[in-house]
């Protein structure tokens, strides 16, 4: 089988890449070892839309991408007859604490027109009385005797309206795949890539576990938690300054107390002071995830196919007790309800959107955890890099500059290079 481009991975970002390449006139074949678009890590995403990254280009990426989520059908160019993912607005409350006080964020928000409010201690208490505004930094494990210590002061906060979440992340990937098919893209599910083929110094296609070969001059690795394995198979890791690998993460749901429900106007809360984040959901529950504080052991996974989707009692207890510390009215449930999925996490929690040292091989890696929100524009980034590289441009020496369609600002795609120095970020999934 022959194609103009092969996309490995049909998650929300892989499907977006397929859509943009197909829009550009390429015959695209998407291969994924799973059963359908978005059935992997995308289906377990918290699907949060926010703008609180640590660097200029990351903030601008999120702000530009949000405009596409706000008018999803217009971005796709078609309505999916099976239903459309919806953006649910709830706002983002960022509790300002040691090492995460917003000073790296607000100057860029001012420049790009991202709306926000600064809340002092009194205003934080008044606006969100459901929260204990005490400062408990640093985050602690629940077996640390200091976990129960009294607060050492009060927090201030940033409130960013216009943030929220996508109600069905897997449906969002299906919407992108549907739009890509409209432009001629083909999707091959239950199709595992076992070899990346090359002719000389250029990629020439892939071989599947079935023995079938697909030939193409462009191959894009968007394999999520499997993408580090695919890069190793392709032999393109030697010049990568930024690594990435699969990281096990557990996310839980619990009944929301009054004041923390979506209908109460509750926000998505970024709480690096205790080491968790939580957001309201449709149906009177909250979703709770971790923010990788230093006191928590990170569980790296060598073989993504061995991951158990069942959460552990230890991680659940820690998450529940931390939320209870921040929300005194939170009723800790009697048993875990949630799942354990995998991030494709990079060394600095920033994505890699780049070419490789093998001509025609490209990568959108290190994306799981905080890049769902950027999926619409990530597809456009990859198309810009692919088009330039395949037309002879040296993206390594002269990074492609992408002009945002909403702000008109230029985004340096070299900021997402595989060869970059580690970006100065929060050191957590917040980016």
Q: What is the pLDDT of residues 249-308, one digit of tens each?
A: 999 999 999 999 999 999 999 999 999 999 999 999 999 999 999 999 999 999 999 999
Q: What pTM did the predictor assign?
A: 0.97
Domain boundary among 323, 344, 365: 344
Is the same domain home to 179 and 235? yes
> Which residues lie across from 339 on neighbouring strands?
251
Counting the structural domains of the chain, the total is 2
Q: Do strands 219-221 and 361-365 pair parallel, antiparallel, or not at all (unpaired)? A: parallel
- Rounded Cα distance between 353 and 356, Å, is 10
Q: What is the pLDDT of residues 410-427, one digit of tens each?
A: 999 999 999 999 999 988
- Within 13 Å, how many C-alpha atoms sit on residue 62's CB side? 30
Is residue 38 within 8 Å of residue 169, measured between CB atoms?
A: yes
Q: Assign residue 137 the CATH number of its domain.
A: 3.30.9.10
Q: Are residues 175 and 209 in the same domain?
A: yes
Q: What's the pLDDT at 368?
A: 78
Residue 426 within any structural domain of the chain: no
pLDDT band of 242, cuts 50, 70, 90: very high
Is 57 found in the same domain as 158?
no
Are residue 371 and residue 268 in the same domain, yes or no? no
Q: Which of 344, 376, 401 is the last residue of a domain?
A: 344
The answer on 274 and 135 residing in a single domain is yes
Task: Read off the CATH number of the domain in which 182 is found.
Answer: 3.50.50.60
11/99 same-domain check: no
Instruction: Examine the domain organization and report whether 101 and 214 are in the same domain.
Output: no
Range of the domain at 280: 90-164+248-344
**Domain presence at residue 120:** yes
Domain's final residue, options 344, 362, 384: 344
Mind listing the pLDDT tens digit for each residue in 131-188? 999 999 999 999 999 999 999 999 999 999 999 999 999 999 999 999 999 999 999 9
Considering the domain architecture, whether residues 237 and 252 belong to the same structural domain is answered as no
Q: Cα(207)–Cα(230) distance, rounded to whole angstroms?
A: 12
Q: In this predicted model, what pLDDT tens digit does every residue of 370-386 receive, in sequence order?
A: 999 999 999 999 999 99
Same domain, 220 and 324: no
Assess whether 255 and 339 both reside in one domain.
Answer: yes
């Amino acid at each position: 089988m022959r194609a103009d481009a092969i996309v490995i991975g049909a998650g929300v970002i892989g499907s977006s890449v397929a859509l943009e390449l197909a829009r550009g006139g390429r015959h695209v074949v998407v291969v994924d070892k799973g059963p359908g678009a978005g059935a992997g890590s995308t289906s377990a995403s918290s699907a949060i839309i926010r703008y609180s990254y640590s660097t200029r280009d990351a903030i601008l990426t999120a702000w530009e991408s949000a405009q596409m989520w706000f008018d999803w059908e217009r971005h796709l160019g078609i309505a999916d007859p099976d239903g459309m993912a919806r953006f649910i607005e709830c706002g983002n409350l960022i509790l300002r604490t040691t090492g995460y006080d917003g000073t790296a964020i607000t100057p860029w928000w001012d420049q790009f027109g991202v709306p926000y409010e600064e809340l002092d201690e009194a205003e934080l208490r008044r606006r969100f009385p459901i929260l204990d505004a005490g400062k408990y930094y640093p985050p602690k494990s629940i077996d640390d005797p200091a976990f129960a210590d009294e607060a050492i002061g009060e927090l201030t906060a940033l409130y960013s309206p216009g943030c929220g979440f996508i109600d069905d992340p897997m449906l969002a990937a299906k919407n992108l795949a549907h739009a890509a098919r409209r432009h001629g893209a083909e999707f091959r599910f239950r199709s595992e890539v076992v070899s990346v083929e090359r002719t000389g110094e250029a990629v020439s296609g892939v071989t599947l576990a079935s023995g079938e070969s697909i030939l193409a001059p462009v191959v894009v690795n968007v394999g999520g938690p499997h993408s580090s394995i695919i890069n190793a198979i392709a032999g393109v890791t030697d010049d990568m300054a930024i690594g990435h690998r699969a990281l096990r993460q557990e996310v839980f749901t619990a009944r929301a107390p009054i004041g923390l429900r979506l209908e109460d106007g509750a926000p998505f809360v970024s709480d690096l002071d205790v080491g968790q984040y939580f957001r309201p959901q449709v149906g009177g529950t909250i979703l709770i995830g971790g923010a990788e504080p230093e006191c928590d052991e990170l569980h790296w996974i060598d073989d993504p196919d061995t991951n158990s989707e069942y959460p552990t009692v230890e991680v659940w207890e820690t998450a529940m007790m931390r939320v209870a510390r921040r929300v005194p009215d939170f009723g800790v449930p009697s048993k875990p309800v949630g799942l354990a999925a995998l991030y494709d996490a990079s060394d600095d929690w920033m994505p890699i959107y780049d070419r490789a040292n093998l001509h025609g091989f490209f990568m959108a890696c290190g994306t799981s955890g905080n890049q769902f929100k950027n999926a619409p524009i990530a597809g456009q980034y990859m198309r810009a890099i692919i088009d330039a590289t395949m037309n002879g441009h040296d993206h390594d020496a002269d990074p492609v500059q992408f002009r945002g369609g909403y702000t008109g600002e230029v985004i340096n795609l070299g900021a997402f290079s595989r060869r970059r120095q580690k970006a100065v970020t929060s050191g957590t999934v917040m980016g």
